[in-house]
Amino acid sequence: MPVDAFAHTFVVAAPPATVYAHLADPRSYVGLSPLVVAVRDVHTDGDQVTYVALERFRFYTNPIRVTMTLHPEALSVVSAVVSPGRVCLRAAVTLTPSGDGTEVTESITVESPSLLRRYVVRQASAVQLKRAAELTRRMAA
């Protein structure tokens, strides 16, 4: 299956510890990711958090299984997503102090069937940019 990778870096007006705490909580992704409308079945085991996120599209709701690995010492959160249609996405977020705020870099790798590839990459890229804008807004508040 084809694999695509892309990254986005931006700065938010909050210290790294605040941003990390927000991103380490699965419930924060409701609305942070524009497609995620609910989170359920959250389980924590050490530095690993598993949950089901419900993505709402026009005509259906897509349940996706997420395994989030937390790296507090590195200020990093890695999420592995398994979605119906054999789509696998890995998002690694790293936080770096930047003046009074935090530089956030999100690197995404997505594997999808050729038939879905263009749609999946377009959606993942659009969601990444909207997530950056929403996190920037939340951290400024």
Q: What are phi and psi of 20, to 5 degrees?
A: -60, -45
Reading the chain (141 residues) residue by residue, the pLDDT tens digits are 889 999 999 999 999 999 999 999 999 999 998 889 999 999 999 999 999 999 888 788 888 899 999 999 999 999 999 887 889 999 999 999 999 999 999 999 999 999 999 999 998 999 999 999 999 999 997
* Residue 29 neighbours by CB distance under 10 Å: 21
Strands (E), the chain: 3-12, 36-45, 48-56, 61-71, 76-83, 87-98, 101-111
